Amino acid sequence: MSKLLIALFVTAGLGLAGCATQRDAAMSAAKPMAPVAPISKDAYDTAVRNAEAQNRMDKDACSSRSGNVKDICLAEANGKEKVAKADAEAAYKNTPSAREGARVTRAEATYGVAKERCDDLAGNTKDVCVKEADAALVKAKADAKVDRVAADTRQDAATKQADARKEANADKRDADYKVAIEKCDALAGAAKDSCVSAAKAQYGKS
């Protein structure tokens, strides 16, 4: 086998390996976020400051590199900061929308690094790498939206159930109150007055 063919096979292998790694990272970004305990405003502010401090250190570490290796390093550093801030916001706000936003931010960070890695390739291998990165981002955003809508639906359903339960309990109390008042009609004078007062007190009527 000629040296040229060997070189071509090695290049293609590296390209495929890069794309496989990229797909694994994209699949990880598309997964729903594990439930996290809500955090306070102070904890959120601390997380943001820590993310910014870490970003400065990560960028300093990139300064000794050059070319696309440096570009990848910077993309990873910036993506890491954005993800840390988005995760903190999701924990602070603790809403389906905030969790969706954190997942989208994670997917976009993965996408940014993937695009930089594609720059190490050439020709059709690079084109495929870019298209796979584009597709992974679209899928991750779509999955995040579906999960957010499902969470909103569950939340809305729970609210509606609570409202219905509250209304049903009120109707039941009214019905029981009417029965109690009807029983009081069998009495007269002070006994009836006492019965009515007791019924009102029991069922929260004025």
The structural domain count of the chain equals 2
CA angle 79, 85, 86 (to 5 degrees): 85
Q: Are 175 and 140 within one domain?
A: no
Is there a domain that residue 163 lies in? no
Inter-CA distances, 42 with 81, 97, 187, Å:
18, 21, 64
Residue 123 lies in a domain: yes
- pLDDT value at position 109? 97
**How does pLDDT run across 164-202, given as a tens digit for each residue?**
888 988 999 899 999 999 999 999 999 999 999 999 999
Say whether both 88 and 173 belong to one domain: no
Task: List helix spans (H) across the chain.
Answer: 3-30, 41-62, 67-93, 96-118, 123-184, 189-203
Q: What is the pLDDT of residue 138?
A: 94
Q: Looking at residue 199, what is its pLDDT?
A: 93
> Does residue 141 fall inside a structural domain?
yes
**Low-confidence stretches of the chain (pLDDT beneath 50):** 1-23, 25-27, 30
